[in-house]
Chain A
Amino acid sequence: MNAVFYISAAVAVFATLMVITRLNAVHALLYLIVSLLSMAVIFFLLGATFAAALEVIIYAGAIMVLFVFLVMMLNLGTPAMAQEKRWLQPRMWRGPSLLAAILLAELVYMALCGRRPFTAAVVGPKEVGITLFGPYLLGVELASLLLLAGLVGAYHLGRRRPQPSPLREEPR
């Protein structure tokens, strides 16, 4: 089972290397999603199944959607459509698809292999939930406050102002 870990680690490092060397943000995001998926496989191998599921759902799902939404939003207008078509050419999908296929092959191998794939004891969602809402209850409340502050801050910063600095204009 160590080979599965080494392959996932290699995929993670290679995908991250591709992320920071791409010139185009959309291509970098494709590789970043593959990197996060390989991290999820490593979490699974470490016995942290709940964290692996959250990595896929929240990181690779929600946060990456925010990034893609931003990148696509920042170039509006008619040339943007041709640009996006040029960004998402089929050959740009090959690298991330190959890496994702490697991860899928690992997953199928682990599912078909009869032994337990975990190399450590599994800490399941039940224990995580009991601990989270027991000793760490204050932390949960603080995280909710942080998320609320993030929501209010994003709303305040994301508004379009009619003037760049309306406060500097002198009143008549």
Chain B
Amino acid sequence: MITLPLSQVLILAAALFVLGLAGILVRRNIIFMLISIEIMLNAAGLAFITAGARWQNADGQIMFLFVLAMAAAEVSVGLALIIQFYHRFKTLDADAAGRMRG
């Protein structure tokens, strides 16, 4: 049985994380920034699963479950924030909220 080279899976996770990071740095649309955060969380989950597969215990999958729950809570709050943002600024450009008023 061919064993999967786990270092290559970790390289894939790093590549996906970097893609998400590039997305959040480059894009100014706030929906795309939230999507990029999802990509980064998913890459972190892949790294956890890889580590769990390396030592063949369930802890990696459990950490993935926690990442999943955190992503769900983050998405619900983030989408509500986007709705408020859109109603207030009538745009989805994140630079529209670049100036604080406090």
Contact = CB atoms under 8 A, between A and B. Distances in A.
B32 A25 contact: yes
Nearest to A36: B42
Interface residues of B, number: 62
A37 to B, nearest CB: 12
Interface string B22-36: 110011010110111
B80 to A, nearest CB: 4
Contacts of A121: 53, 56
A157 B84 CA distance: 7
A45 interface: yes
A54 B65 contact: yes
Contacts of A25: 29, 31-32, 35
A47 B32 contact: no
B16 A13 contact: yes
Interface string A1-39: 110010001001100110110000100110010011001
B83 interface: yes
A150 B39 CA distance: 20
Contacts of A127: 57-58
A61 to B, nearest CB: 11
B71 A63 contact: yes
Nearest to A22: B32
Contacts of A19: 23, 35, 39
Nearest to B86: A74
Contacts of B8: 5, 9
Given A16-B16, A119-B1, 16 more contacts: A2-B2, A5-B4, A12-B16, A19-B23, A28-B32, A43-B46, A50-B61, A54-B64, A63-B75, A119-B4, A120-B4, A123-B57, A151-B76, A153-B77, A157-B80, A158-B80
26 contacts: A2-B4, A5-B4, A5-B9, A9-B12, A16-B16, A16-B20, A20-B20, A28-B32, A35-B42, A42-B12, A46-B49, A48-B49, A48-B53, A74-B82, A120-B54, A121-B56, A123-B52, A131-B58, A136-B62, A143-B66, A147-B73, A150-B73, A153-B76, A153-B77, A155-B80, A157-B81
Interface of B: 1-5, 8-9, 12, 15-16, 19-20, 22-23, 26-27, 29, 31-32, 34-36, 38-39, 42, 45-46, 49-50, 52-54, 56-62, 64-66, 68-77, 79-84, 86-88, 92
